[in-house]
Amino acid sequence: MTFSGKSSLMYIDGEWRTTKSGETFERRSPFDDSVVAVHQNGDGDDAEEAIAAARRAFDSGPWRRLPMSERRDVLCRAAALLREANGDLVRILSAEVGQPNRGEALMAANYLEYYAHLAFDLRDEALASQTPDAVGIIASEPVGVVGVITAWNGPMAQTAWKVGPAMAVGCSVVTKPSHLTSTAVLELARIFDEAGVPPGVFNVVTSDREGGAVVGQVISASHDVDAITFTGSTATGRKIAAAATGNLKRVLLELGGKSPNIIFADAPSLDDAARGAYNGVTLLAGQACQSGTRLFVQESVHDAVVERLTEIFRTEPKLGNPLDPTTTIGPLVTAAQQSRVLSYIESGRAQGRVAVGGGAPSDPALAKGHFVQPTVLCDVPTDNRAVREEIFGPVIAVIPFSDADDAIRMANDTEYGLASGVWTSSLDTALRCSKEIRAGTVYVNTYRNSGLFTMPFGGYKGSGLGRELGREGLEEFLEKKSIHIKLGPVFARDRARLNG
């Protein structure tokens, strides 16, 4: 059961187009290597056309000049269309990403709706009392043309939480989706078109791996792009930031992570903590920047947690076709990623031990897919590459610690600072760890499933710049303008009278 492949076009200036070169590329299923899509292989010239369309749309088009209520209504229509198309989008997302992806389109709809209403409620500030003959207005205005470069592991949700706030405040957008998962973003373009987004406001340039680097660099370096938002690796984020310095454009980067998840002996439930650790590293088969891949467990409960964790990792995963409703974990996104993850497991095995998992599954039904068994590593030194580097696979390393000082020190011993978790019944311990761990997100007695979907998200250190989601995610696409208004002679005369 695979999603049937189809040819697609790029979306530029409200039109569906082929590339100037006429070249295309295939996306093959990570599960069985069948062709799931054929995309246009765009290049720098196509990117320039999309940028020009977005520039025209922002400078002279109607979108940013519409009443906020009309932009809100268009984005809410798009959200409704996403929900209507959810069945088809589930199949597209699962086929291309390779993982069960049953809620992402609905998540994208929620983000569009949230930002549509949040932008409608934007309020400027006024300074009316500093002096009697002047009023100051602090106005918020859209930053302009926004370049959006998304990763493959959550293509529709990532795009929605970037373009939702940008478009809601009046920006226009040029999007370069991952070459591995372009169909979902093109479907979003179709939905925006149907919802009434004007030409040039949302543009999509697709390209293969090599061409994608070219397109991304053109967007990042363009003087006609006012801001760039990127999700992906830290190495690529640095290149984008360097390219963006030409016109000092605003840069928003959501990058890698090597997140610590800390279980104290007084955790409310060791069963819940072990299951939280499992969920924190198996979503999208661990191909998520927030994955809690370093599990620190207090020494007195270390063995008990490892026992629970091993049982969960052995019995819970159901590897299979991502389109099968019984599957919980699908194949990794590419053969290269599978090889990379297996090499990390071997590195951990060489210096420690594998408690469960440890390789590709032996089931012949899975032989064509890029599968890796969910794996627990134990007794691995903290300088091992499986502990130091981002793996992007379903692999967790369990590391014992003595006390809170020890846990915090090891948690912060990383170039990253994206997410973290703390399991404890002590409010003091929870707050102390939350204050001292250098990460943009701290989960307490949960990991990634608190239900709070509008909290700001971003990282410290090598995990990025800026914040997405929440009100902070909207502010990233706004410029502040100070307007000084000197009042007329009547006010000056009244002031003179008051001064005697």
Does the annotation count 254 as an active-site position?
yes
Pair 427, 278 in one domain: yes
Q: With 90 as the cut, is the pLDDT of residue 355 above it?
A: yes
Pair 302, 171 in one domain: no
Pair 44, 159 in one domain: yes
pLDDT tier for residue 81 given thresholds of 50, 70 and 90:
very high
Given 187, 254, 390, 468, the catalytic residue: 254
> Does residue 494 sit within a domain?
no
> Does residue 84 sit within a domain?
yes
Contacts of 7 (CB under 8 A, 6+ apart): 24, 37, 38
pTM of the model: 0.93
> Does residue 221 sit within a domain?
yes
> Does residue 267 sit within a domain?
yes
Pair 124, 183 in one domain: yes
β pairing state of 125-127 and 134-142: antiparallel
Q: 200: domain CATH number?
A: 3.40.605.10
Query: Given this model, what pLDDT does residue 1 score?
Result: 28
Query: Given this model, what pLDDT does residue 3 score?
Result: 38
> Does residue 37 sit within a domain?
yes
Number of domains in the chain: 2
Query: Given this model, what pLDDT does residue 492 score?
Result: 59
pLDDT tier for residue 5 given thresholds of 50, 70 and 90:
very low
Q: With 80 as the cut, is the pLDDT of residue 197 above it?
A: yes
Choose the final residue of a domain: 444, 469, 490: 444
Pair 232, 338 in one domain: no
Per-residue pLDDT, averaged over 408-425, amounts to 98
Determine which of 125-139, 156-170, 189-203, 371-385 has the lowest per-residue pLDDT on average.
125-139
> Does residue 491 sit within a domain?
no
Per-residue pLDDT, averaged over 106-135, amounts to 94
> Does residue 268 sit within a domain?
yes
Q: Which of 133, 302, 159 is nearest to 230 (CA)?
A: 159
Pair 270, 250 in one domain: no
Distance CA 171, CA 269 (A): 47
> Does residue 394 sit within a domain?
yes
Pair 289, 303 in one domain: yes
392-404 in b/e form (b: 16+ CB < 10 A) is: bbbbbbbbbbeeb
Q: With 80 as the cut, is the pLDDT of residue 6 above it?
A: no
Query: Given this model, what pLDDT does residue 491 score?
Result: 62
As a whole number, the mean pLDDT across the chain is 94
Given 171, 289, 378, 433, the catalytic residue: 289
Pair 100, 202 in one domain: yes
| Burial of 287 (C-beta count, 10 Å sphere; 0-12/13-18/19+) | buried
Does the annotation count 289 as an active-site position?
yes
Pair 234, 305 in one domain: no
Pair 438, 469 in one domain: no
Distance CA 212, CA 220 (A): 12
Q: 265: domain CATH number?
A: 3.40.309.10
Determine the structural domain holding residue 51 and report its residue range. Answer: 6-255+459-482
Q: What percent of the chain lies above the pLDDT cut of 90? A: 91
Pair 180, 272 in one domain: no
Instruction: Pick the more confident residue, 6 or 484.
Output: 484
